[in-house]
Structure 1
Amino acid sequence: MSAPKFSSQGNSFYGELRSRINEYFQEAGKPSTGNYKLYFKAVVLVLSWVGFYIHLVFFTPGTWLALTESVIMGGLTAAIGFNVMHDGSHGSFSRKEWVNKLAGLSLNFLGANVFMWNTKHNVIHHTYTNIDEIDDDIDARPFLRLCSTQRHRKIHRYQHIYGWFAYSLLYLYWVFFTDYKKYFTQKVGSMPLMKMKPKDHISFWGFKVIHAVVYMALPIYMVGFLPWLTGFLVMGLFAGLVLTLVFQLAHTVEHTHFPVPNELNKLEDEWAIHQIKTTANFATKNKLITWWVGGLNYQIEHHLFPKISHIHYPAISKIIKKVCEENGIVYIEYPRMRIALGSHAAYLKAMGQA
């Protein structure tokens, strides 16, 4: 499937949005990138991960404490991805490019690959959000049916039950399968991968070896195979569940759209309106979740302004919401986590029907 084209409008909605957001930053007198609060959080998350890793591998706590620490490490893995890697790969972590690249490289240390991520996420997902056959993030076939244009299978009638377990597999599946699939096919779904330079190939294989040593070889040598396997699975499954839920609650809920191009391969809306229709905010009243997931519960703000650091999302959300109201555009928001989870479960159940 070739990439569809967005509608172009004379009075651009996005132009008005950018004007007001620029005005906000000018009046506030602060940069749109990260600040000391973000850098402090990044240091806390990374040092916490290192501390728990050292304690688990070199000091071998008792079984229940080890399992608890493995869960915490899974949460920290997701948090580093949300807060450090994600802002860095979008160029919003810092005003300095080399700092952003370093922050983005944290994904390689966590086991995945930032080059693959940039094509999959920054280019494809952020442009063609929720478009079946293009947006790889809504392709969980054959296990899940995430939009009405995908083939229905009998097993899907139970996806609102087993889907939660399937979500926990994301991290392990990502690190050990999908990265390699993208590398060898040079595709992300149906879309071509950006051309890799020699340094990208070296980085891919080099960091995969580092991940194997840090996450597998060294722990197995220190604590034995079964204790390592148990802890690694607990960590990976929890990280996968958290990572997947953030995406699902932002894009696959009852009120988000899944646009289909017309016969001329064109979409009905301009890009910014498309982003708002296909995206939802969740748990916006929960400051702890906002801190942990790097502001990605303010997903509308992120999709409209990915180069603005997540620390500004709560503030600019008020501006975006106001502009949407003025233009009669529905701003999808689930202020409580339980409401968002309920909406996603209801959506899974609806898509599970023939």
Structure 2
Amino acid sequence: ALSRKGWVNTLFGLMQDYIGGSAVMWIQQHVVLHHLFTNDVHMDPDADGFPAIRFHSGPTQPGVDVNAGKKAMSATWLPWHLFQHVYIFALEVGYGLVPIVGSVVELLVWRHRGDAKFRLSPMLLSWGLLSLALHACFFARFIYLPLLWNEDGALVTLGKILLTAAVGGGYLAFFFALSHNFEGAGNFEGAKADGSVEYPKDEQ
């Protein structure tokens, strides 16, 4: 936190929307889902790259089976995953579109990845509307105004916009992949349909 005053932290948090991200969806996807269900194969979105990437093959640690043996979709193997160590770099470069475009869609449908189980709280509605307004400002300054007042031609300017998004998105995705997927990082299951969790106790 930057301040003891909540409104100051909220204001600075929403600046993420002005630079192309989404404070609301970050709270939902990372703070709520990832930190509450860390490495849960059914609930942690950071453990789910399906269908493009397969981050895991299922729970690697003893867990509490609350899904009646149902295999996590994110653990499904598809033929192109054989080459994911090659094409992952291209995906990382294109990741910039996820916060720029994907978060707007998620705000409009009011749920992470469009999934009903990841629905946002109604308490965030006013914040979500402000987030969309700031996103409109971002699109204006990042895309519309540069194309309107460019000196290099529309195609060159568009190329610069895409390059900026690729560098920013690639940077985020590269270090995200490193920090979340490494030898020794286990996966679990234990999230229940009502949002509660039941994980095995650490005996160590």
| Alignment of structure 1 residues 123-272 onto 2, 5 Å | 123-149=32-58, 150-187=75-112, 189=115, 190-196=117-123, 199-223=126-150, 224-261=153-190, 266-269=198-201
Q: Is the 8 A contact 2:18 2:134 kept in 1?
A: yes
1:130 shift after superposition: 1.4
Q: State how far apart, in whole Å, the 2-side matches of 1:167 and 1:107 are.
A: 20
1:100 shift after superposition: 1.6
Q: Is the 8 A contact 2:97 2:165 kept in 1?
A: yes
1:142 shift after superposition: 1.0
After superposition, the Cα gap between the structure-2 partners of 1:256 and 1:197, relative to the gap in structure 1 and judged at 3 Å, is: closer
Q: State how far apart, in whole Å, the 1-side matches of 2:9 and 2:83 are.
A: 42
Residue by residue over 1:51-101, the C-alpha shift from the partner in whole angstroms, topping out at 9 and shown as x without a partner, is: xxxxxxxxxxxxxxxxxxxxxxxxxxxxxxxxxxxxxxxxx2333323322
Q: Is the 8 A contact 1:93 1:100 kept in 2?
A: yes
Unaligned 5+ segments in structure 2 are 59-74
Q: State how far apart, in whole Å, the 2-side matches of 1:198 and 1:141 are.
A: 29
Q: State how far apart, in whole Å, the 2-side matches of 1:116 and 1:155 are.
A: 29
| Alignment of structure 1 residues 1-354 onto 2, 5 Å | 92-149=1-58, 150-187=75-112, 189=115, 190-196=117-123, 199-223=126-150, 224-261=153-190, 266-269=198-201
- Greater CA deviation, 246-255 or 156-165? 246-255
Q: TM-score, normalised by structure 1?
A: 0.47
Residue by residue over 1:6-51, the C-alpha shift from the partner in whole angstroms, topping out at 9 and shown as x without a partner, is: xxxxxxxxxxxxxxxxxxxxxxxxxxxxxxxxxxxxxxxxxxxxxx
Paired positions, count: 181
After superposition, the Cα gap between the structure-2 partners of 1:202 and 1:261, relative to the gap in structure 1 and judged at 3 Å, is: closer
Indicate the SS of the match to 1:267. coil
1:261 shift after superposition: 2.7
Q: Is the 8 A contact 2:43 2:191 kept in 1?
A: no
Q: State how far apart, in whole Å, the 1-side matches of 2:127 and 2:11 are.
A: 15
Q: State how far apart, in whole Å, the 1-side matches of 2:141 and 2:47 are.
A: 31
Q: TM-score, normalised by structure 2?
A: 0.78
Matched AA of 1:194: S
Runs of 4+ in 1 over 4 A off after TM superposition: none
- Greater CA deviation, 143-152 or 199-208? 199-208
Q: Is the 8 A contact 1:119 1:194 kept in 2?
A: no
Matched AA of 1:233: L
Structure whose residues are more often helix by fraction: 1
1:158 shift after superposition: 0.6
Matched AA of 1:199: S
Indicate the SS of the match to 1:169. helix
Residue by residue over 1:247-306, the C-alpha shift from the partner in whole angstroms, topping out at 9 and shown as x without a partner, is: 22121111111112399x621146xxxxxxxxxxxxxxxxxxxxxxxxxxxxxxxxxxxx
Q: State how far apart, in whole Å, the 2-side matches of 1:262 and 1:221 are.
A: 49
Unaligned 5+ segments in structure 1 are 1-91, 271-326, 329-354
Q: State how far apart, in whole Å, the 1-side matches of 2:5 and 2:37 are.
A: 28
1:165 shift after superposition: 1.4
1:163 shift after superposition: 0.5
Q: State how far apart, in whole Å, the 2-side matches of 1:101 and 1:200 are.
A: 9
1:182 shift after superposition: 4.7
1:146 shift after superposition: 0.7
Q: State the match for 1:291 in structure 2.
A: none
Q: State how far apart, in whole Å, the 2-side matches of 1:169 and 1:268 are.
A: 37
